[in-house]
């Protein structure tokens, strides 16, 4: 477990910088540059949030902590609720999200929580704003800003992520509501190619989103998820990942994105879910760290891995293996199902099970905290936590 002294020594944003209506930091004064080349040569650049972005990214990438991804769309949240026999209503979504954000001591292990738009503006069942509850736990609120995947015309049945239209005004509003980082998820499918068109579209969309988010004070999480679907081996995943991340960083640079003010959410390098040859945690760590070393600049503060359908225990073991030696980045987690699965089943929609469900969430969060520090052993894990969660063609 992360010690209290360790957490206190981490760079932490002042809470007044997060909460709506409490001395929100304004952009610094504009920079005006005059060029002597004609009547329309006056260039005005918007004020910069650079210092705040760096501070936010470092806060989220603090030792022994990671991200709770609870930004499932209402439709996806409905599927989760249906798995325990609950109807997909706002009241039920509110009850479940309240359970998550109010788990006592969650901030010891969780530094950031990604929210869906409904949750960012929602209150708990007790009437407190979800954002305020997170801030009280020293957890930075974040927001999902993409508008989902749609078919990519001219590709091999691949997808592209929509949501750039109106993104500047939305991110500005989310900042005022208390969000300090953002998430945009696009996907790359190995069985479908991936085509050069799909990779370029994914990289360009992520870069435009990142630039717009930084302009409005939000640290962008850059997430080109390489889907687990397929029978391919780990070498093929590695090959595709090298190509994807090269393209992503090329376009991030083209769009003047500040690397010190972003976080990455990559897939671990694993075999396809239907591959007969499975990889050990050490193999996953070796391939994944080799990918990071070849493609990710050390100025990036945090690598927050997605679980992508791995079992809760598998995701934790793989993360732990990557933290057995020093890394130039904070190597941690941004898990949804790999933190919530057992918690959801323990709750079962029953008020009397809330405390037990929260304890289950804290067990998983604590395990991943230990894995971030390279100290996880895997002892005492339940059978439920060892079950795989891969769903072919999964839609988030």
Helices assigned H by DSSP within the chain:
4-8, 50-60, 74-82, 90-101, 117-120, 130-136, 167-177, 196-215, 234-254, 281-295, 312-322, 337-347, 354-372
Q: Are 214 and 53 in contact (CB under 8 A)?
A: yes
pLDDT per residue over 182-214, tens digit each? 999 999 999 998 999 999 999 999 999 999 999
Report the C-alpha gap between 301 and 55 in whole angstroms.
10
392 by Cβ neighbours in 10 Å (0-12 / 13-18 / 19+) ranks as exposed
Q: Are 120 and 174 in contact (CB under 8 A)?
A: yes
- Encoded tokens for 8: 């206190």
Q: Which residues are catalytic?
A: 223, 265
The predicted model scores a pTM of: 0.85
By three-state DSSP, how is residue 263 classified? Answer: strand
pLDDT at 14: 54
Residue 236, C-beta contacts closer than 8 angstroms, at least 6 positions apart: 190, 272
Report the C-alpha gap between 182 and 163 in whole angstroms.
13
pLDDT digit string (tens) for the chain, length 396 residues: 444 333 333 445 555 454 443 434 444 444 444 444 444 444 333 348 999 999 999 999 999 999 999 999 999 999 999 999 999 999 999 999 999 999 999 999 999 999 999 999 999 999 999 999 999 999 999 999 999 999 999 999 999 999 999 999 999 999 999 999 999 999 999 999 899 999 999 999 999 999 999 999 999 999 999 998 899 999 999 999 999 999 999 999 999 999 999 999 999 999 998 899 999 999 999 999 999 999 999 999 999 999 877 888 999 999 999 999 999 999 999 999 899 999 999 999 999 999 999 999 999 999 999 999 999 988 766 565 555 544 455 455
- The DSSP bridge partners found for residue 114 are 69, 142
Q: Are 102 and 124 in contact (CB under 8 A)?
A: yes
């Amino acid at each position: 477990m992360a010690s209290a002294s360790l957490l206190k020594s981490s760079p932490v944003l002042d809470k007044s910088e997060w909460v709506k209506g409490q001395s929100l930091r304004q952009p610094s004064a504009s920079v005006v540059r005059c060029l002597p080349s004609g009547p329309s040569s006056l260039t005005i650049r918007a004020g910069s949030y650079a210092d705040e972005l760096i501070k936010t990214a470092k806060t989220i990438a603090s030792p022994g902590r990671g991200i709770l991804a609870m930004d499932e769309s209402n439709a996806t949240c409905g599927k989760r609720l249906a798995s325990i026999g609950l109807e997909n209503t706002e009241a039920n979504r509110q009850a479940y999200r309240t359970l998550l954000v109010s788990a006592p001591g969650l901030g010891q292990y969780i530094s950031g929580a990604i929210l869906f738009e409904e949750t960012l503006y929602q209150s708990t069942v007790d009437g407190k704003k979800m954002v305020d509850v997170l801030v009280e736990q020293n957890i930075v609120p974040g927001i999902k800003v993409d508008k989902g995947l749609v078919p990519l015309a001219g590709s091999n049945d691949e997808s592209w992520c929509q949501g750039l239209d109106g993104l500047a005004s939305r991110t500005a509003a989310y900042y005022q509501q208390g969000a300090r980082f953002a998430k945009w998820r696009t996907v790359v499918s190995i069985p479908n190619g991936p085509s050069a068109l799909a990779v370029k579209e994914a990289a360009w969309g992520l870069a435009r989103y990142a630039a717009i988010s930084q302009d409005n004070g939000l640290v962008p999480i850059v997430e080109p998820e390489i889907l687990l679907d397929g029978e391919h081996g780990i070498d093929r995943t590695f090959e595709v990942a090298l190509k994807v991340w090269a393209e992503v960083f090329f376009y991030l640079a083209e769009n003047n994105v500040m690397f010190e003010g972003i976080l990455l959410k990559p897939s671990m390098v694993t075999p396809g879910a239907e591959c007969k040859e499975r990889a050990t945690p050490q193999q996953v760590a070796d391939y994944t760290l080799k990918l990071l070393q070849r493609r990710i600049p050390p100025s990036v503060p945090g690598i927050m891995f997605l679980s992508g359908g791995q079992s809760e225990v598998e995701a934790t073991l793989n993360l732990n293996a990557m933290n057995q030696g020093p890394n130039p980045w904070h190597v941690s987690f941004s898990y949804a199902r790999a933190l919530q699965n057992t918690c959801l089943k323990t709750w079962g929609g029953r008020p009397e099970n809330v405390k037990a469900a929260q304890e289950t969430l804290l067990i998983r969060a604590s395990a991943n905290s230990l894995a971030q520090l390279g100290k996880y052993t895997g002892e005492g894990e339940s059978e439920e936590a060892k079950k795989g969660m891969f769903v072919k063609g999964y839609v988030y």
